[in-house]
Structure 1
Amino acid sequence: MDKKNQRPEFHGSDLEKIAAYYHIPASEIPGIIKFGANVNPLGLSESVKNDLAGHLDIISSYPDRNYTSLKKTIGEYCHISPEHIVVGNGSTELISLLISQRQAKKALVVGPTYSEYERELALTGGTITEYNLKEDLNFQLDLEDFFASMAEDVDLLILCNPNNPTSSAIKNRDMKHILNFCNERNIFVMIDETYVEFAPDIAEITAISLTDEFDNVMVIRGVSKFYAAPGLRFGYGITSNHDFLEALLIHQNPWSLNSVAAYAGERMFKDNTYQQTTRQLICSERDRMYTAIQNMPSFKAYKPYANFILVRILKENLTSFDIFEAAIKERMMIRDCSSFKSLDGEYIRFCIMNPEDNTHLLKLLEQF
């Protein structure tokens, strides 16, 4: 049997499963540093937390069915018309709605990437194909090769930008070429921007500004990672394709987003202090960690645009699982990337945490 296939498979939220496997006492589980979850280490904004705590009576009322005030706030945050916005029960619901309503006969997914896209596509009965980013190009997309290799019958393209797990990104100018190419061939494009707010320059990466020009695209975001609120289940999508937007709303359950999420969402997008503090922390620590790993001969780090770094192991006979185990014994949970489809080789991924935790991880990696 392949050595990779003998390893236990853990994901970013598998703390209890990991603790059971390594016989870690329940009392120690909260102390494990979650480098595998890609969530903002600052946690939920204190001002949002306090505001929310004082307004929990909103649970006794239905949210506005049209989410008018929330969409206005998102519009201001994203510099886009509120009429182009749909909100939902996490980005997962919107991804599912988009895929089910497009009814793609042949979808193309740029990988290696998040496995949930393929799961949703499989439910629609369409054919799924992949275009894999190349390691020798540092997982940066080669537009010429990408366009040349795209089959004629592709009708849905799915991109994660910045991409998970590679942390690579397609810049706005190249995304415009992609949307134009796809528009000419009647291909709809879904862009998952879960991590875009962590990018060194958001405007350089986000495709939201292109949604006014192209109606063959929907950009999907959420608050799970940047705003450290995965339990809130709040996502939003942006498209100027009003026919498609209406179709989504028809098939979406009413009041899909609860009152608490709608209220908290408005406060999050207006919390400039939290946004700036987060970006200062992530940008400075990401640069520090990336530079440090570049100086370690056992590893190769790829230029990161998200709040995590993908690292290839160059040292012979050292596996990603070896490092995962060494880290968990130090009560740090990183991501062993052996389960990512089409990611050949030995890779680990870890997100940016608080400076002292990052230093602890770097010291561990230096031992190898």
Structure 2
Amino acid sequence: MSENQKQTRPAFHGSDIEQIEKYYGIPKETIIKFGANVNPLGLSASVRKAMAEHLDIITSYPDRDYKTLRQAIAGYCNTDINYVVTGNGSTELISLLITQRNARHALVIGPTYSEYERELSLTGGRISNYNLEESQEFRIDLRHLEYALDDDVDFLILCNPNNPTSSALTCDELDSLVKRCKERKIFVMIDETYVEFAPSIDEISAVPLTARYDNLMIIRGVSKFFAAPGLRLGYGITSNRAFLDNLKQRQNPWSLNSLGAFAGEIMLKDRDYISRTRELILSERRKCLTVLEDYRYAKAYPAYGNFILVKILKEGITSFDVFDHAIRQGMMIRDCSSFSGLSGEYIRFCIMMPKDNERLLHCLGELLA
């Protein structure tokens, strides 16, 4: 494909469902959203029922300290309530964290979520990228990373599991990294948006490290695992008391509404929903990876998130070609050409319900098997 063709073809984000509807003339209600990375079970029935029965809660302001919500988060994550801060989605907390750190030189592990760099660019500091290597199946080489930590780097950002690669570091590996950063006075932000989809949450979550290191903040939310992106509930975990106090002083009061705070308490305690979600994702992810192993012109990578990154190996077939082929059959996947630092032709799709996954794999197989 020529450079002019690449520049004129449409580029859709995973949530650009309205633009896709307009461009292809496909009713958005009929499109299966394999590009959004949201739990296919949808909102928990018990949460929906509880919210409907407590709508009057919006007539009152929420508790300014969100104490009961923070208690629920602390219990869910097995951490100290005093380490927990809530926000209007993880996006608000990422913005507040980056603004307050005001880094001289931030290093971002990529390819990854573009919002990190957008927020960093507003602070005026220097931004560097450490791009994961395909030859390493997009896992971080910790020894090599140390060489990238220049003397003036004071802020490190990584997503674990990472989006779009679905790769992850273990808690032990993160321990080594955060310890090294502590010695060099580098603050670390770890975005754990997808950690609950991992085969073993305990194996890769860095939450236990917050009790030992005050140069670390974990960011999470309920958009993906609990299928509640519109709720705008995010939370952060850090033991850095001074930093937390400073962050809260600059955060808008009542940044999370009463209904969102109430729903958060309910969903984090819904063990049946949590169990069903993990059973579905872990089982279907294994099936999808097994099928993809037999595709001659596709390479799938080990996946810890609820999505799988696939490299296209067939000459003349681009990521947009595969996206276009799928959307014309009513399935929206992610064309990864917009991810900075991801060289080559890649697509990403999230795990949906079994029949939908079978349909997509058949569709991909028409081009790549």
Offset from partner CA, 1:50-77 (integer Å, 9 cap, x none): 0110000000000000111111111111
2:55 aligns to what? 56
Trace 1:96-175 onto structure 2 (pairs within 5 A). Answer: 96-175=95-174
Corresponding residue for residue 12 of structure 2 = 10
Write the deviation string for residues 271-297 of structure 1: whole angstroms up to 9, x where unpaired. Answer: 000000000000000000011101101
Shift of residue 246, structure 1, vs aligned partner? 0.2
Report what 2:326 is aligned to.
Answer: 327
**Which TM-score applies when normalising by structure 2?**
0.98
Secondary structure of the structure 2 residue equivalent to 1:297: coil
Q: Within 5 Å, which residues of 2 pair with 1:161-310?
A: 161-310=160-309
Higher mean Cα deviation, 2-11 or 42-51? 2-11
* Matched residue SS, 1:87: strand
Task: Report the Cα offset of residue 213 of structure 1.
Answer: 0.5
Q: Is the 8 A contact 1:219 1:237 kept in 2?
A: yes
Number of equivalent positions: 365
- Equivalent residue, structure 1, for 2:66: 67
Offset at residue 21 of structure 1 (A)? 1.0
In structure 2, C-alpha distance between the alignment counterparts of 1:246 and 1:149, rounded to whole Å? 31
Task: Supply the distance in 2 between the matched residues of 1:176 and 1:124 (Cα, whole angstroms).
Answer: 28
Structure 1 position 98, deviation (Å): 0.2
| Displacement after TM superposition at 1:203 (Å) | 0.3
Q: Secondary structure at 2:245's aligned position in 1?
A: helix
Task: Answer yes or no: is the 8 Å Cα contact 1:162–1:195 preserved in 2.
Answer: yes
Q: Name the CA distance, whole Å, in 2 between partners of 1:13 and 1:299.
A: 25
**In 2, Cα distance between equivalents of 1:263 and 1:128:** 38
By how many angstroms is 1:148 displaced? 1.8
State the alpha-carbon separation in 2 of the partners of residues 189 and 175 from structure 1: 10
Question: How far is the alpha carbon of 1:366 from its aligned partner?
Answer: 1.3
Unaligned runs of 5+ in 2: none
Helix, strand or coil at the partner of 1:76: helix
AA matched with 1:345: G
Identity percentage over the alignment?
61
Structure 1 residues 93-138: Cα deviation after superposition (integer angstroms, max 9, x where no partner): 0000000000101000000000000000000111100000000010
Give the 3-state SS of the residue equivalent to 1:40 in structure 2.
coil
Note the C-alpha offset of 1:31: 1.3
Residue 12 of structure 2 aligns to a residue in which SS? coil
SS in 2 for 1:178: helix
The answer to whether residue 79 in structure 2 is matched with residue 77 in structure 1 is no
Aligned match of 1:341: 340
- Conserved 8 A contact 1:335-1:349: yes
Which of 16, 19, 22 is the matching residue for 1:20? 22
Q: Which residue of 2 aligns with 1:312?
A: 311
Deviation of the 1:335 alpha carbon: 0.2
The answer (yes or no) to whether the contact 1:4–1:338 under 8 Å persists in 2 is no
Shift of residue 149, structure 1, vs aligned partner: 2.3
**What is the CA distance between 1:7 and its match in structure 2?**
2.1
Write the distance in 2 (CA, Å) between the matches of 1:52 and 1:328: 34
* C-alpha RMSD over aligned residues: 0.7
Report runs of 4+ in structure 1 exceeding 3 Å deviation. none
Question: Structure 1 length normalisation: TM-score?
Answer: 0.98
Which runs of 5 or more structure 1 residues have no equivalent in the other structure?
none
Q: CA deviation at 1:5?
A: 2.7
